[in-house]
Structure 1
Amino acid sequence: MITKENYKNDIKNYQPKPKLLKNCIKAFVVGGLICLIGQGLTVFYTEVFGFSEKAAGNPVVTTLILLSALLTGFGVYDKIGQFAGAGSAVPVTGFANSITSAALEHKSEGLVLGVASNMFKLAGSVIVFGTVSAYIVGMIRYLIEQFL
């Protein structure tokens, strides 16, 4: 008689072994390349347009969002994600990719009910989590400063 334990033990022999080191290296390299592009954009905006490093942050983030949305629209970012795994989920570009993917997936339902409503399903939870965690960290910092 086949039980759950026997089945789990039997299928372990047939499951592919994850290549953890190879996957970690690919994620590290691709994530690093995305960050390198961001640093290159920072240098570009400071040298060409005369921004300070702090002021260059906004156009750099905007450019990275635009690039990842365009790459998602052309289907390139999905291939990068399949290759790099978590390395392509660098916060700004990964978030822009997920928003653009949701918008493209539901475009057949129309602009308002399809794209606009489904695009922000993921964004809403991320914004709520970011706001709540920022509040908690801010309160902890405030309490530490008050009592120490």
Structure 2
Amino acid sequence: MQSLKSERAKKEYEQFVKEVTPKQNLFCNMAKAFIVGGLICVVGQILLHIGKTQFSLSKDDAGSWCSLILILSSVILTGLNIYQKIVTFAGCGALVPITGFANSVAAPAIEYKKEGQVFGIGAKIFTIAGPVILYGVFASWLLGFLYWLWTAAGNWF
């Protein structure tokens, strides 16, 4: 008797979950991600072009300025709660470029600022981006060390 009730409750719960779960259109989501991610990249290319032509910057300097402007724009839009709306609309199309990484650092800082500078912002700022930074730095160090060993071994022979 008890197992019959629990089985019926389980089926009712599964039906409820199916009813309240929003339906996703995969093609539409991919199109929105492609368009928004593409627009972010187009803005980056425009910034690169302006930096090289209007300000006579080298390719590397124009790239640095382009990155800084995109990061600053993302942080400002995150602070104004606009970037989250873009992410809700575009999904990974707004999360993958450099602007998404800046958003992942700025959002926790804004969210936890009420807890103070040290225990709020200082402790929580890298909760999302921290693992990416950690493994990126470690992988870079490891590859650099292996490269150094490879070149040092070449000089010994």
Q: Do these two structures clear the TM 0.5 threshold for a shared fold by scoring above it?
A: yes
| AA aligned opposite 1:89 | L
1:99 paired to 2:105: yes
Q: What residue in structure 2 maps to residue 79 of structure 1?
A: 85
Q: Which moved more, 1:35-44 or 1:122-131?
A: 122-131
Q: Structure 1 residues 4 and 103 mapped into 2: Cα distance closer, same or farther (>3 Å)?
A: same
Distance 2:9 2:47 in 1: 54
Distance 2:30 2:127 in 1: 29
- Kept in 1, the 8 Å contact 2:78–2:107? The answer is yes
Structure number with larger C-alpha Rg = 2
Q: Structure 1 residues 115 and 6 mapped into 2: Cα distance closer, same or farther (>3 Å)?
A: same
Instruction: Report the Cα offset of residue 115 of structure 1.
Output: 1.2
Instruction: Report the Cα offset of residue 123 of structure 1.
Output: 3.2
Distance 1:129 1:41 in 2: 30
TM-score (norm 1): 0.81
**Alignment partner of 2:128 out of 114, 122, 132:** 122
**Alignment partner of 2:116 out of 91, 94, 110:** 110
TM-score (norm 2): 0.77
Distance 2:72 2:96 in 1: 14
Structure 1: gaps (5+ residues): none
* Deviation string, structure 1 residues 72-110 (Cα, Å, up to 9, x no partner): 001110110110011111331011111111011011111
| Structure 1 residue runs of 4 or more that deviate by more than 6 Å after TM superposition | none
- Kept in 2, the 8 Å contact 1:65–1:96? The answer is yes
CA RMSD of aligned residues (A): 2.8
Distance 1:16 1:122 in 2: 26
Distance 2:49 2:24 in 1: 38
Distance 1:65 1:75 in 2: 15
Distance 2:140 2:10 in 1: 44
Q: How many residues get paired?
A: 144
